[in-house]
Amino acid sequence: MDSSVLAPAARVLAAEEWRAREAAHAERADTLTAGHRARRARGEPHPIEDFLFTYYSYSPAVLRRWHPGAGVELADAAGTPRAEWRWYAAGATSGSLTVDVEAMRREKGAMLDLVERMLRLTAARPGQFGCFGLHEWAMVYRQREHRHPVPLRLGQEATDDVVEAHELRCTHIDAFRFFTPDAVPRNRFAPTRESQPELEQPGCLHAGMDVYKWAVKLGPLVPGELLLDAFELARDIRYLDMQASPYDMAPWGGEPVRIETPEGKAEYVRRQRGFAERGTALRARILEASLGG
């Protein structure tokens, strides 16, 4: 991908406009992370929402920092702390700042190419909707010690029975790598890091959550509002991910989606399709805003 593709035509945001967007962004980010920050201060775990800050390991401060995205100049910003932020440079307009796309391209070109490839290839594929969230069940299959210190809804034996009554169809390496040894050979696919660009598909809940990861990796190329939209998608998906899991998540607001029943399967697929649509739309917006469409 050449630099002309990476750099949309610059536009200038007046100081009052970008400062208002920056403030609105910080307020929205604070609202989204308020529960996590309060629980962390109390030392109180939340097995559904903690994932968004531990597995992805991005702090609330990352979400709070607003960027305008590629190809935007911020008027009268040269004298602000933003001038010291990484990847910012003087814009064409006197006193303005802009994201230094060229510098990012020189230093992070391989990462930018990977993110673009993942976003484009995933969005271009049809979604697969027959997994029913069984990846979480495969992570506890025939295993007495589990990743989450939460009781299994059905107990170990009945949980194992559910796995054995279904075909495992997980396409996502970062779910598959946590399968128990007995579950691995039961999966239709054998995802690897190398095959990830070829296997990732929009129906996968974890691929939808990873839109947030890719947005963070693009850093200041992604407008802040888009970053928070991706975080909200990841949060919403995470709830279904754990509601459909074998764990009893009711104490944390995760009423079960009983995928071991026809009704539960139907609810899972309905919500899965909605997340796939949201994820595909976000991928397109991120590519357009940060990588030139």
Q: Are 164 and 128 in contact (CB under 8 A)?
A: no
C-alpha 163: how far from its chain's center? 26
Q: What is the dihedral of CA 154, 128, 268, 155, to 10 degrees?
A: 10
Q: What residues of the chain score a pLDDT lower than 50? A: 1-8
Residues 6+ apart with CB under 8 A from 121: 197, 198, 200
The 10s digit of each residue's pLDDT in 14-61 is 999 999 999 999 999 999 999 999 999 999 999 999 999 999 999 999
For 231, what's the count of Cα atoms within 13 Å in the CB-facing half-sphere? 28
pLDDT at residue 5 in the model:
40
CA distances (Å), 255 to each of 150, 172, 247, 264, in order? 14, 25, 10, 12
Number of domains into which the chain is organized: 1
pLDDT at 290: 82
Residue 169 structural domain:
3-290
State the pLDDT at residue 134: 98
Q: Give the Cα separation of 35 and 201 in Å (integer).
A: 31
Report the C-alpha gap between 148 and 273 in whole angstroms.
27
Q: How far apart are CA 259 and CA 257, in angstroms?
A: 6
The residue type of 157 is E
